Structure 1
Amino acid sequence: MSNRRVIVAASLGTVFEWYDFFLYGSLAAFFSTRFFPAENETAALLASLATFGAGFGVRPLGAIIFGHMGDRVGRKKTFLVTITLMGVATMLVGFLPTYESAGIWASAGLVSLRLMQGLAIGGEYGGAAVYVAEHAPPGKVGGHTGWINSMATGGFLVALAVVLSCRTFLGEDAFAEWGWRVPFIGSIVLLVISLYIRLRMGESPVFEAMKERGTISRNPIVESLSTWKSTRLILVAMFGVANGATVVFYTAQFSTFYFLQTALKVSGATSMALIAVAAGVTLPMCALFGWMSDKVGRKPVILAGYGLAILFIFPAFNMIAHMGNPDLMDAQERAPVTISGPECSFHLFADEQQSDCDQALDFFSSRGINYTRQPTNGAASSDPLVVSVGDQEISGFDKPAFEAALVSAGYPEKADPDKINHVGIILVIIALMTCTGMAYGPTAAILAEMFPAKVRYTSLSVPYHFGAGWFGGFLPLVSQLIVAMTGNVYAGLWYPVIVTIFAFLILAFLIRETRGTPLDQ
Structure 2
Amino acid sequence: MAAAEGLQREPTEKEIRLVIAASSAGTIFEWYDFFIYGTLAGLIGAAFFPSGNETLQILLVWAGFAVGFGFRPLGAILFGYLGDRLGRKYTFLVTVTLMGIATAGVGMIPSAASIGLAAPIIVICLRILQGLALGGEYGGAAIYVAEHAPPEKRGFYTSFIQASVVGGFVLSILVVLACRAVIPAEEFAEWGWRVPFLLSIALLGISLWMRLKLSESPVFQAMKEAGETSANPFKESLTYPGNPKRIFVALFGITGVLTTIWYTAFFSSLSFLRRDMRVDESTVEWILLIAGFISMSFYLIVGKWSDRVGRKKPIIIGAIATLALLFPIFWTMGSLANPGLARAASENPVVVTGQQCTTDPFAELFDEEQTGCGKVLETLTASGVAYSVEPGADLALTVGGEPVAIEAGWLEDAAARRDGIQSALGESGFDFAKQTPPMANILGIGALILVMGMLSALTYGSVAALLTEMFPARIRYSSMSIPYHIGAGYLGGFLPLIAGIIVARTGDVYAGLWYTMAVVGFGLLVAWWGLSGGPPRDFEDSHQAPPTGPAIP
Q: TM-score, normalised by structure 1?
A: 0.96
Structure 2 match to 1:393: 403
Aligned 1:284-433 pairs, distance under 5 A: 284-351=297-364, 353-376=369-392, 383-394=393-404, 396=406, 398=410, 399=417, 401-419=420-438, 421-433=441-453
| Structure 1 unpaired stretches of 5+ | 377-382
Q: Is the 8 A contact 1:20 1:90 kept in 2?
A: yes
Q: Is the 8 A contact 2:104 2:197 kept in 1?
A: yes
Task: Tell which deviates more after alignment, 412-421 or 260-269.
Answer: 412-421
What RMSD in Å do the two structures reach over aligned CA positions?
A: 1.6
Q: Is the 8 A contact 1:306 1:439 kept in 2?
A: yes
CA distance in 2, matches of 1:256, 1:353: 32
Structure 1 match to 2:414: none
Aligned mate of 1:121, from 134, 153, 172: 134
CA distance in 2, matches of 1:508, 1:218: 34
Are 1:197 and 2:210 matched, yes or no? yes
Are 1:91 and 2:104 matched, yes or no? yes
CA distance in 2, matches of 1:462, 1:489: 33
CA distance in 2, matches of 1:247, 1:24: 18
Task: Tell which deviates more after alignment, 408-417 or 50-59.
Answer: 408-417
2:239 alignment partner, SS class: coil
CA spacing shift, 1:201–1:515, aligned 2, 3 Å? farther
Q: Is the 8 A contact 1:26 1:258 kept in 2?
A: no
Structure 2 match to 1:461: 481
Q: Is the 8 A contact 2:34 2:130 kept in 1?
A: no
Instruction: Give the letter for the 1:193 counterpart.
Output: I
Q: Is the 8 A contact 1:353 1:359 kept in 2?
A: no
1:141 alignment partner, SS class: helix
Instruction: Give the letter for the 2:464 counterpart.
Output: A
Are 1:451 and 2:471 matched, yes or no? yes
Are 1:267 and 2:277 matched, yes or no? no
Task: Tell which deviates more after alignment, 399-408 or 475-484.
Answer: 399-408
What are the superposed Cα offsets for residues 489-513 of structure 1, whole Å, 9 maximum, x if unpaired?
Answer: 1100011111111111111112224
CA distance in 2, matches of 1:183, 1:401: 37
CA distance in 2, matches of 1:107, 1:415: 29
The number of residue pairs the alignment matches comes to 515
CA distance in 2, matches of 1:409, 1:255: 28
Q: How far apart are 1:250 and its partner, in Å? A: 1.0
1:368 alignment partner, SS class: coil
CA spacing shift, 1:32–1:119, aligned 2, 3 Å? same
Aligned mate of 2:516, from 461, 480, 496: 496
CA spacing shift, 1:513–1:457, aligned 2, 3 Å? farther
Q: Is the 8 A contact 1:60 1:462 kept in 2?
A: yes
Q: How far apart are 1:8 and its partner, in Å? A: 1.4
Q: How far apart are 1:312 and its partner, in Å? A: 0.9
Q: How far apart are 1:19 and its partner, in Å? A: 1.2
CA distance in 2, matches of 1:415, 1:193: 38
Q: How far apart are 1:111 and its partner, in Å? A: 0.2
Q: How far apart are 1:375 and its partner, in Å? A: 2.4
CA distance in 2, matches of 1:29, 1:46: 10
What are the superposed Cα offsets for residues 145-183 of structure 1, whole Å, 9 maximum, x if unpaired?
Answer: 111011112112211111011111101101011101000
2:403 alignment partner, SS class: strand
2:48 alignment partner, SS class: coil
What are the superposed Cα offsets for residues 9-61 of structure 1, whole Å, 9 maximum, x if unpaired?
Answer: 11123212331343111211221121123122211111111001000001000
Aligned mate of 1:161, from 171, 174, 189: 174
Aligned mate of 1:6, from 19, 37, 47: 19
Q: Is the 8 A contact 1:59 1:465 kept in 2?
A: yes
2:360 alignment partner, SS class: coil
1:180 alignment partner, SS class: helix
CA distance in 1, matches of 2:178, 2:49: 26
Q: How far apart are 1:101 and its partner, in Å? A: 0.3
Q: Is the 8 A contact 1:384 1:395 kept in 2?
A: no
Task: Tell which deviates more after alignment, 404-413 or 103-112.
Answer: 404-413
Aligned mate of 1:478, from 498, 510, 514: 498
Q: Is the 8 A contact 1:133 1:145 kept in 2?
A: yes
2:377 alignment partner, SS class: helix
CA distance in 2, matches of 1:353, 1:322: 35
CA distance in 2, matches of 1:37, 1:490: 26
Task: Tell which deviates more after alignment, 318-327 or 341-350.
Answer: 341-350
Runs ≥4 residues deviating over 6 A:
none
1:97 alignment partner, SS class: coil
2:404 alignment partner, SS class: strand
Instruction: Give the letter for the 1:510 counterpart.
Output: G
Q: How far apart are 1:515 and its partner, in Å? A: 4.4
CA distance in 1, matches of 2:185, 2:383: 21
Q: How far apart are 1:418 and its partner, in Å? A: 4.9
Structure 2 match to 1:442: 462
Q: Is the 8 A contact 2:356 2:374 kept in 1?
A: no
Give the fraction of aligned pairs with identical amino acids, expressed as a percent: 44
Task: Tell which deviates more after alignment, 18-27 or 264-273.
Answer: 18-27
CA distance in 1, matches of 2:436, 2:41: 23
1:402 alignment partner, SS class: helix
Structure 1 match to 2:200: 187
CA spacing shift, 1:284–1:435, aligned 2, 3 Å? same
CA distance in 2, matches of 1:8, 1:350: 49
Q: How far apart are 1:344 and its partner, in Å? A: 3.1
1:417 alignment partner, SS class: coil
Structure 1 match to 2:9: none
Task: Tell which deviates more after alignment, 203-212 or 405-414.
Answer: 405-414
CA spacing shift, 1:160–1:37, aligned 2, 3 Å? closer
Structure 1 match to 2:69: 56
CA distance in 2, matches of 1:418, 1:517: 49
Q: Is the 8 A contact 1:245 1:439 kept in 2?
A: yes
Structure 2 match to 1:518: 538
Aligned mate of 1:152, from 165, 168, 176: 165
Structure 1 match to 2:228: 215
CA distance in 2, matches of 1:17, 1:235: 27
Instruction: Give the letter for the 2:168 counterpart.
Output: G
Q: Is the 8 A contact 2:26 2:211 kept in 1?
A: no
CA distance in 2, matches of 1:429, 1:144: 25
Aligned 1:218-297 pairs, distance under 5 A: 218-226=231-239, 229-297=242-310
CA spacing shift, 1:227–1:295, aligned 2, 3 Å? closer
